[in-house]
Structure 1
Amino acid sequence: MADKGISLAKFIYNAYPQPNRWAIGVAVLLALGGGIGAILLFFHNRRLRVEIEGRKDAEERATRFSDLLDASLNEIYIFAADTLRFVKVNRGACQNLGYSVEEMLMMTPLDIKPDFTPESFDELVAPLRSGEKEKIQFSTIHRRKDGSLYPVEAHVQLASAGDPLFVAIMLDITERQAAEKALLKAAQEWQKTFDANSNAIWILDRHQRVQRANKAAERLFQQSGENMRGQICWRIAHGTDRPVDACPFLKAQKSLHRETMDLQIGDDWFEVAADPILDADGHFTGAVHIVNNISERVRSEREREKIQAQFMQAQKMESVGRLAGGVAHDYNNMLSVIMGYTELALEKTLPDDALHMDLREIMRAAKRSADITRQLLAFARQQTVAPRVLDLNETIESMLKMLRRLIGEDIDLVWQPKADIWPINIDPSQVDQILANLCVNARDAITDVGRISIATDTVSFDQDDCAVHKNISPGDFVRLMVSDDGCGMDQATLENIFEPFFTTKEMGKGTGLGLATVYGIVKQNDGFINVYSEPDKGTTFKIYLPRDTSKVMREDRAAPTTTPLGNGETILLVEDDASILKLSRRMLENLGYTVIATNDPIRALALGREHAGQVDLLITDVVMPAMNGRDLSHQLNPHCPGLKTLFMSGYTADVIAHRGVLDDKVCFIPKPFSKQALAAKVREVLESDTA
């Protein structure tokens, strides 16, 4: 019996796990003290207690598991692998779908997934059934009890192998999808903005590799953004194996702020900018590289600079013109006195007299001085002129003999007129000045022998021509061309040739007023001038003078060969400068006229009334104290009906024009004038039909 007890104790000892081996001692004691029945009863009760405690522990674990499932906000489902019937659903699933637990346990996944059929679902979970995969993940749609739909992300796995169950965890991705759509929309809008920019833009990393490129960059560099990605920027832009000098990226990498450079490629100009990209710690990680085509801006700036230069040139010309105009009156008055008395003195000497020769030199110098004044006034467009309608070919032909003497025998002068050119309205003396200045310049540009060509033709310009050539005007023009085969001019010289006092000639061989005079005359007559020249290839001046449409041609009056004398006519002479008054009176009296002279226009009115009906001609200065010559003439007319008037002035055209003196049919003689010129003009006025 004892042996059987010991054997049973050993069995129990070996049968129970380590924590329960204390039962061995009890079993042995019971075996030794009282019998097998008691022992068996003990162990039966013990096993029953263990089973009860196990079930209780399992229930507690199940309860805790259920609580964990319900605590999750995600939907959790456990369903049978064969019938697909839900065996467990958590509170989150019921709340999201709107069903009760009891309703859910009567349903399958197919009841809440409108996008699945039994076949498609079986195909989806087939890798789990076969053991090919432990878990699958997919996106699907759930349908609530009220019929509304919402997106979920499903994670499904096989829970057990014996009586297989599927466990599915569903994540509501409504907010995530909305966020993804918002991000996608923002990205698309950013890309649209990125591509809509007319500037070529690259996003570069710290090694100057292209990360992104917009459409403008694709067009500029003729590559797709995908093809450019990862390439070094300067290899794409410049085709070089190293960055260009003054690369804005490298400068921005050092300065950590925007850097720019201007770059010319062919006829286009670009502004290249690099804006640094910094991380949270302020470290350089790359740059936004922007290429802006600034060709139009550069052209506009150059055009503005050109206009500014022209404006400054105009101001300079105006300043010199004001200076010339300011001194012209007094200067011409003094020249009038010098030339007048010299002319009177010449009449009293014999040609072979030494004094006669000296006086002729004085007269020659005075005339040269008068020419300089006229040049200044012509350049400033303030020259007093008497324009008339003429045929340019006839005017030039009358000058050819003089021009050939001017340029010398070594230079061939070629005249190439176009027949039947349009008439123009210009003072003939201005044509003389233009041709004389251009031919002298051409002569000086030729070394030894050479050729000067003068040609005329007609040309018309429309608005389209003016859009292409900025310095022309629409209309019909007669074109005068003067060309030479001399040394030519470089661009720097061409830019300055019309400036007053600019000259390339040696000291003492040029005043710098010749071309300025030509320019002033052309502008004064509403024309324009172009110059074409290259070093060693000669020069061509093209002058465009507007066509006259009045169809009125005036005949030239032949210059008198002798000095016309008076027939005792009475002349009222009014001049505020005492020297000129004295000189003019003496000249007129020597010519045979009766002269009533005064330096006061108010006194002249009284003299006119006193000699009413006796005065044949009023010769008056234009600008005088108290009253100008025009008003004096008007106020004398009632007392001297039919009174003819000859105006004279040393002022420039702009000063006297607004007083009406230069109106058509008004007689005018500019100072300084010679006795011969005064005699001819007085006879012309006296014999004219107009008062």
Structure 2
Amino acid sequence: YEIGIEIDSETRYYHINLQPLKDVEPEDRQILMVVSDVTRQRNLEEQLRQSQKMEAVGKLAGGIAHDFNNLIAIIRGYSDIILSEMDKENEFYDSALEIDKAGERAANLVRQLLAFSRRQILQPRVLDVNQLIRDMEKMLNRLIRENVELWFRLDPNLGNIYADPGQIEQVVMNLVLNARDAMPKGGKISIATKNITAEDSVFIKNKFMTRADYVMIEVCDTGMGIKKELQPKIFDPFFTTKEKGEGTGLGLSTVFGIVKQSKGYILLESELGKGTSFKILFPKVDEVIAFARQSIRLNHNLRGSETVLVVEDEDSLRKMICKMLTTNGYKILEAANGTQALSVLEESKEKIDLLLTDVVMPGMSGKDLADLISVQRPGIAVLYMSGYTDDEIVHQGILFPDTHFIQKPFTPEALGKKIRETLKASNITKVKS
């Protein structure tokens, strides 16, 4: 049989085998006891079970993500168009708004499913974590209640990390929301940052971690704490200690997925009645932050007069995208696949400024189409879109640093901003060349 014994705040597991010895006198009866430390084996088995569970859910999430994202994009796109053309006094305005809100919730749910299964498409860059947290301060203060204090302790000499800024923001926000919910009567939340070197004591306690230099984000609360027996389950998808209807059980599993996909670690320390601490460690990088693209993101003028070739095999989605762009002043050419797009290109004598293409299509991929069109129309800007997961996008050879990409589902505003960003970056490249 097996027993668990707590030694120095760590549970060790031992397998005990009892065997009576034969060929001895009855009055000298003896028993052989063999005790084996099976802690490492138990931990490896648990890691394997967790990995298999995440892989199974990941395959399910990845399988439905493409179709769901296309449908959500259509729902959100048309609801945004309706709302933009409708007065708030209209009797149907609130109904259209509820459709849009439902679409947003559905999009968030798909994103969370992909995040914890580590299939979310990341667009990483070198980040100053301190600056990212400072930029979030106002938003975080709005999320917490008046009886909760928010403290910041940011290391002024903090290193940089290579990660998707939107995903790191989601990690911090989810942990702060989790801390807030753990303190219904109020308390303190602290967000701290710190450099961790390869010699740090954290590696002694957590031997599974690779010794290296990390940047740590720690979120602590003075809440009710987490029961020890529940701690191994808190990162499981759909596990929640909240009342029915108060949580999806995806908050911490989303954090776990993002951290793991970004090659980081997440450590939990919690004590009943005293509070909880989550430490997130991301590999430190030596690269400096590139500011070249910052100015592009500041341009929020969504209108344009350029000509855009839209290539999308989902008819309803293509029509919605064309309506979005036409409304904002763009001239539109459309095609349902790569072959049709090449025919449109051959028949059209006018300048085409941007190719907006789906990545995965029947017959010819968006990447292959873009390569062909770039030869015929040098200097054309290319923006890829997809509802598939990162595995498929990487397989198609899309996610290079200078590639412009937008994940489905998107809103008209998000698409408008991305198009302006792509066109401006293309113009900058032409000037430099």
- TM-score, scaled relative to structure 1: 0.58
Amino acid at match of 2:302: P
Report whether the alignment pairs 1:513 with 2:242. no
SS of residue matched to 1:344: helix
Once the two structures are superposed, residues 517-575 of structure 1 have per-residue CA deviations (whole angstroms, 9 ceiling, x without a partner) of 000110111100100001111000000011122223336447658542112x2211100
In structure 2, give the amino acid aligned to 1:327.
I
Mapping for residues 14-413 of structure 1, pairs under 5 Å: 271-277=17-23, 284=26, 286-287=28-29, 289-292=31-34, 294=35, 297-298=36-37, 301-413=38-150
Q: 2:299–2:421: 8 Å Cα contact kept in structure 1?
A: no
1:672-687 equivalences under 5 Å are 672-687=409-424
Alpha carbons 1:575, 1:599 under 8 Å: kept: yes
- Whole-Å separation in 1 of the counterparts to 2:264 and 2:2: 39
- The structural deviation recorded for 1:289 is 4.7
Aligned length: 421
**1:690 Cα offset (Å):** 4.3
- Structure 2 counterpart SS, 1:399: helix
The residue correspondences of 1:412-427 to structure 2 (distance < 5 A) are 412-427=149-164
Question: Aligned-pair distance for 1:609?
Answer: 2.9
CA shift in 2, pair 1:460/1:421, >3 Å = same
Q: Which residue of 2 aligns with 1:625?
A: 362
Quick one: distance in 2 between partners of 1:371 and 1:365? 10
Whole-angstrom CA distance in 2 between matches of 1:436 and 1:514: 10
| Alignment match, 1:480 | 217
| 2:190 corresponds to 1:453 | yes
Aligned alpha-carbon RMSD (Å): 2.4
Distance (Å, rounded) in 1 between the aligned partners of 2:253 and 2:175: 11
Q: 1:516 to 1:572 in 2, by over 3 A?
A: same
Partner amino acid, structure 2, of 1:469: N
Opposite residue 550 of structure 1, the aligned amino acid is E
Q: Residues 203 and 209 of structure 2 are in contact (CA less than 8 Å); yes or no, is this contact kept in structure 1? A: yes
Residue 399 of structure 1, CA deviation? 0.7
The answer to whether structure 1 residue 566 and structure 2 residue 312 are counterparts is no
The structure showing larger relative contact order (alpha-carbon pairs under 8 Å, at least 6 residues apart) is 2
In 1, the alpha carbon distance for the partners of 2:385 and 2:71 equals: 14
Give the superposition deviation at 1:468. Answer: 5.3
TM-aligned CA distance change 1:359 to 1:264, over 3 Å: closer
Are residues 355 and 465 of structure 1, via their aligned partners in 2, closer, same or farther at CA, if it must alter by over 3 Å?
closer
Aligned residue in 1 for 2:237: 500
Kept in 2: contact 1:602–1:627 (CA 8 A): yes
Q: Distance in 2 between matches of 1:379 and 1:484?
A: 23
Shift of 1:608: 2.1
SS of the residue corresponding to residue 625 of structure 1 reads coil
CA deviation map 1:650-684 (0-9, x unaligned) = 11111111212111100001111111111111111
Work out whether 1:589 is the aligned partner of 2:326.
yes
Residue 150 of structure 2 aligns with an amino acid whose one-letter code is L
Label 1:375 to 1:351 Cα distance change in 2 as closer, same or farther (>3 A).
same
Structure 2 Cα separation of the partners of residues 262 and 583 of structure 1: 61
Greater Cα radius of gyration, structure 1 or 2: 1
Cα pair 1:622 1:648 within 8 Å, conserved: yes
1:162 match? none
Offset at 1:353? 2.6
How far off is 1:463 after superposition?
A: 10
Q: Deviation of residue 326 (structure 1)?
A: 1.1
Retained in 1: the 8 A contact 2:296–2:424?
Answer: no
Q: Secondary structure at the match of 2:28?
A: strand
Deviations 1:238-289 (Å, cap 9, x if unpaired)?
Answer: xxxxxxxxxxxxxxxxxxxxxxx889999796655431325xxxx7463455
The SS at the match of 2:392 is: helix
Structure 1 contact 566–593 (Cα < 8 Å) conserved: yes
Corresponding letter in the other structure for 1:667:
H
Distance 1:475-1:612 versus aligned 2 partners, 3 A rule: farther
User: Residues of 1 paired with 2:133 and 2:254: CA distance?
Assistant: 18
On the 8 A contact 1:277/1:287 being kept in 2, the answer is: no
Counterpart-to-counterpart distance in 2, 1:401 and 1:584: 34
- 2:383 paired with 1:637: no
**3-state SS of paired residue (2:375):** coil
Tell me, what secondary structure is at the counterpart of 1:393?
helix
Distance 1:676 1:631, change over 3 A: same
Contact kept, 8 Å, 1:390 with 1:426, in 2: the verdict is yes
User: Contact 2:128/2:289 (CA < 8 Å) preserved in 1?
Assistant: no
> Within 1, Cα distance between the matches of 2:65 and 2:206?
37
The 1:668–1:262 alpha-carbon spacing in structure 2 relative to 1, beyond 3 Å, is closer
Q: In the alignment, which of 545, 548, 567 is matched to residue 282 of structure 2? A: 545
Instruction: Report the TM-score when normalising by structure 2.
Output: 0.91
Is 1:666–2:412 an aligned residue pair? Answer: no
User: Partners in 2 of 1:290 and 1:574 — Cα distance?
Assistant: 75
Listed as ranges, the gaps of 5+ residues in structure 1 are 1-260
Measured in 2, the distance between the counterparts of 1:285 and 1:672 equals: 79
Paired residue for 2:272? Answer: 535
SS at 1:553's partner residue?
coil
Deviation at 1:436, TM superposition (A): 1.4
Pair 1:511–1:265, CA change in 2 (3 A): closer
Question: In structure 2, what is the Cα distance between the partners aligned to 1:669 and 1:416?
Answer: 35
**What SS class does the counterpart of residue 413 from structure 1 fall into?**
strand
**Aligned mates of 2:172, 2:370 — CA distance in 1:** 38
Shift of the 360–266 alpha-carbon distance from structure 1 to 2, 3 Å rule, reads: closer
The alpha-carbon deviation at position 607 of structure 1 amounts to: 1.9
In 2, the alpha carbon distance for the partners of 1:509 and 1:612 equals 57
- Rounded Cα–Cα distance in structure 2 between residues aligned with 1:444 and 1:468: 28
Contact 1:389 1:424 in 2 (8 A): yes
| Counterpart Cα distance in 1 of 2:365 and 2:3 | 63
The match for 1:651 is 388
Query: Structure 1 vs Structure 2: percent identity of aligned residues?
Result: 39
CA contact (8 A) 2:299 2:417 kept: no
Paired residues of 1:263 and 1:271 also in contact (CA < 8 A): no
What CA distance in whole angstroms lies between the structure 1 residues aligned with 2:107 and 2:69? 7
1:363-422 deviations in whole A, cap 9, x for unaligned?
A: 122112111111111111111121111211111111111111111111011111111210
Aligned to 2:213, the other structure's residue is in SS state: strand
Aligned-partner Cα distance in 2 for 1:330–1:662: 21
Compared CA separation, residues 518 and 584, structure 1 to 2 (3 A):
same
Q: Distance in 2 between matches of 1:409 and 1:480?
A: 24
DSSP 3-state at the match of 1:276 = coil
Contact 1:608 1:640 in 2 (8 A): no
What is the alpha-carbon distance in structure 2 between the residues aligned to residue 457 and residue 640 of structure 1?
50
Preserved CA contact (<8 Å) 2:126 2:162 = yes
Contact persistence 2:237–2:250 (CA under 8 A): yes
**1:262 and 1:631 mapped to 2: Cα distance?**
58
| Distance (whole Å) between structure 1 residues aligned to residue 41 and residue 64 of structure 2 | 34
1:525 aligns with 2:262: yes
Letter aligned with residue 373 of structure 2: L
